[in-house]
Amino acid sequence: MIQHAHLTAWQSHAPWPKRSQIEQDLRLSRGVAAIFADPVLGEHLAMRGGTVLHKAHLAPAARYSEDIDLVLVKAMDTETLDQHLRRVLTPVLGQPADSLIADAWLAIRNVLRPSKILRTAYRFVPVGLRREETIKVEVNLNESASLYPLVGVELDTLDEEGERIRAVVRSYDINEMLGTKTRALMQREQGRDLFDLFHAWQLSEAGTTPYPVDGAMAMEAFAWYLDKEGTRMDCDEANALLDARLRKAVRARLKLPSGAR
């Protein structure tokens, strides 16, 4: 059970303006740690997306996130996977809503081959409040292969006694993470994708992250994912799409949450 003292202790790791955001951040970290401490889930899943990028690869987190993005890297029946996730996450994240399998159009152009996503929302009432907050957990059921070997990254959280612990999370090479971020940037107008790419490069250039960025490897990963989805794109097309994402409307969204470092 999360207590006020836990939130006070966690605030240095989660400098967000609202107490409910700090609690959500702590639950998120505990949920990730619980998944990869479980022998079944830890064998079948890997994590990617902004949460693990900021909480592990580029820690401390420079922006707020509220979901857990996973990939099924070893085959498992979807119903069994859902049961294991609920078993592990309900004590940490709160009560789950009904899970659903949805189509996610991650491909830039190929709308005929959507990814299958297992999506569940976990709801909890923050300490001292009456309204519910939500943490989303999504598992990509299709993209089981990776270009580069999967890696173990460390993520901080607090245990039930409020003591700091360090969990090991199976994730992707940072250059593959940035390759998929580039794909996301090409597909959607979300300022966070552009910020994540810039922030990773900035920390790597400054030597303040143990996971150095190699631009050529990141672009190789980007091209690899395009090839797997059946998309063809030359340099001029890629530059045109990138220019579109650098419009003022997108740049205006590149604002850190109040209190973020």
Q: Which tokens is 139 given? A: 């598992």
For residue 66, the model assigns a pLDDT of: 86
For residue 102, the model assigns a pLDDT of: 67
Over residues 219-238, the mean pLDDT reads: 85
Of the candidates 56, 74, 55, 73, the residue with the CA atom closest to the CA atom of residue 64: 55
Q: What would the pLDDT profile of 97-144 be if each residue is shown by its tens digit?
A: 877 776 554 444 444 466 789 999 999 988 878 788 899 999 999 889
- Whole-number Cα distances in Å, 5 to 1, 11, 127: 11, 10, 11
Q: What would the pLDDT profile of 60-101 be if each residue is shown by its tens digit?
A: 999 988 899 999 999 999 999 999 999 999 999 998 987 777
What is the rounded distance in angstroms from the CA atom of residue 159 to the CA atom of residue 180? 32
Question: How crowded is residue 134: how many other Cβ atoms within 10 Å of its Cβ?
Answer: 14
Question: How crowded is residue 261: how many other Cβ atoms within 10 Å of its Cβ?
Answer: 7
Has residue 190 got a pLDDT over 90? Answer: no
Has residue 53 got a pLDDT over 90? Answer: yes
For residue 179, the model assigns a pLDDT of: 94
SS3 content of the chain, % helix, strand, coil (to 5): 45, 20, 35
Q: What would the pLDDT profile of 28-50 be if each residue is shown by its tens digit?
A: 999 999 999 999 999 999 999 99
Report which residue type is found at 125: V
For residue 110, the model assigns a pLDDT of: 46
Domains (range + CATH), the chain = 4-251 (3.10.450.620)
Q: What would the pLDDT profile of 4-26 be if each residue is shown by its tens digit?
A: 889 989 988 888 989 999 999 99
Q: What is the residue whose two structure tokens read 């090479």?
A: 173
Over residues 162-188, the mean pLDDT reads: 92
Bridge-partner residues for 102, per DSSP?
Answer: 117
Over residues 203-217, the mean pLDDT reads: 93
Q: If you average pLDDT over every residue of the chain, what do you get?
A: 87
State whether residue 3 is helix, strand or coil: coil
For residue 164, the model assigns a pLDDT of: 92
For residue 259, the model assigns a pLDDT of: 45
pLDDT band at 250 (very low <50, low <70, confident <90, very high): low
Q: What is the CA radius of gyration of the chain?
A: 18
